Amino acid sequence: MSFGLLLPAALAALTALLLPLAIHLARRSEQRPTPFAALRWLRHKPKPRHRIRFDEWPLLLLRLLLLALLALWLAQPVLFGERADATWTVAAPGVDSAQVRAAIADDVEPRWLAPGFPPLSQPPPREPVPLASLLRQLDAELPADAALTVFVPERIDGADGGSLRLSRTVDWRVLPGATPAREPRPAAPPRLVVRHAEDRVPALRYLRAAALAWRSGEAGETDAIDAAAETVPLPDDARHLVWLAPGPLPAAVRRWIDDGGVALLDPDTEFEREPAMAVAWRDPSGAALAEGGASGRGRIVRLTRPLAPAALPQLLEPDFPRRLRALLEPPPPAPARVYAADYAPEAGSAAYPQPPRDLQPWWALLIALVLLAERWLATARRRGEAP
């Protein structure tokens, strides 16, 4: 461990040490001469040289110490390299807490691998937790020499796509059980908002048929699609737009996309600042039918062929509604279920620099004690004149 200052420039306040020195030197000015008649006729002798003399040495030293401590407090004293006092033991939700306590020493306080790292005596979290992120956080916050033991269930849900790599070797222990998993909820079918030019009206029948197929048997079939001319503004709740109009894309529509909307564009639609596009749909021969790319917080999907059976025979295929929905909705999340034995973290990552320990609260307590001692000594009755 080593002592340090985060704001060394504050040590300039040490110049205040001259203040108590000046006060104690000026104490001599408090002495008033008293005329005495019997001494007025004595021969006047040269006065001896004045020597610098400090009275009340203990009080002077306390005042100098108090100002020095205040200057160091302003410089923000910290302690670097604090060592760990004990090992850390955490258990992922899904393991039996009784088995964890039986496998560790009595003097070890285990904690849940959950936000805030609550004690194991509390109920386990019911919601899924980001296990890998919590392990990386714990690895970053613990001192480099702290030992870490992790109890995990056999099956882990919500794992990262990559391998788990930490800065220390972890005692990875697998127990029966499984982490809580978030049940997938079926996504509601998108509500299509279509803005089209007059010559693109024939394409509406295919879009309407696909939107009705998404909501087959549901009560909301009548509002599955909102089709209007290209000059009609978009509704406030629009999330999925099909723009079937040649020429430049209006600036208002582009702003709507950048704010989080998803737009399927006509092949003849022009737009500035074209994003990087990747093929999102191919025909059996491998030719691209649609390309997609991110634009701000939203996404643009552009068809490479007109929505007409002569140019795009896939419109008449039974799986066209599924294809169209896949273009408009984000891709499904990657699988995140792994076996704990295969997910053991590897060591070798760079250690995180530990934040210094703030000493200002303790420094403030020391300042208060010195101030009390100075006030007691300055007001004690046994003292003479107080400077």
**pLDDT tens figures, 31-80:** 566 666 555 565 555 555 555 455 677 877 888 888 888 888 888 888 77
Nearest-CA neighbor of 134 among 184, 170, 188?
A: 170
Of 12-21, 65-74, 151-160, 238-247, give the lowest mean pLDDT range.
12-21
The type of residue at 110 is P
Give me the mean pLDDT over the 267-271 stretch.
90
Amino acid symbol at 121: S
- The reply to whether the predicted model has a pTM over 0.85 is no
DSSP alpha helix (H) spans, 174-310:
204-214, 251-258
* Rg of the chain on CA atoms, in Å: 39
Looking at residue 248, its pLDDT comes to 92
Q: How confident is the model at residue 356, as a pLDDT?
A: 75
Token reading at 29: 């000015």
Average confidence score pLDDT of the chain: 82
Q: Above 50 in pLDDT, residue 332?
A: yes
Name the band, by pLDDT with cuts 50, 70 and 90, for residue 217. Answer: low
For 79-117, the pLDDT digits (tens) are 776 655 568 899 999 999 899 988 888 778 899 999 989
CA 124 to chain centre: 23
- Predicted pLDDT of residue 242: 94
In this predicted model, what pLDDT tens digit does every residue of 185-210 receive, in sequence order? Answer: 666 788 889 999 999 999 999 999 99
CA 115 to chain centre: 12
Confidence of residue 257 (pLDDT cuts 50, 70, 90): very high
**11 or 287: which leads in pLDDT:** 287
Neighbour-count burial of 192, counting CB atoms closer than 10 A to its CB (0-12 exposed, 13-18 middle, 19+ buried):
buried
Task: Report the percent of the chain where pLDDT is more than 70.
Answer: 81
- Contact assessment for residue 225 and residue 211, using Cβ atoms and an 8 Å cutoff: yes
44 compared with 139, residue with greater pLDDT: 139
The pLDDT assigned to 42 comes to 59
Residue with tokens 């030719």: 287
Neighbours of 63 (CB within 10 A): 23
From 82, 68, 75, 69, select the one nearest 363 (Cα to Cα): 69
28 and 356 in contact (C-beta within 8 Å)? Answer: no
Residue 219's pLDDT band (boundaries 50, 70, 90)? very low
pLDDT given at position 282? 92
Strands, E, within 85-206: which ranges? 88-91, 111-112, 148-157, 170-178, 192-196
Most confident of the ranges 14-28, 78-92, 150-164, 295-309: 295-309
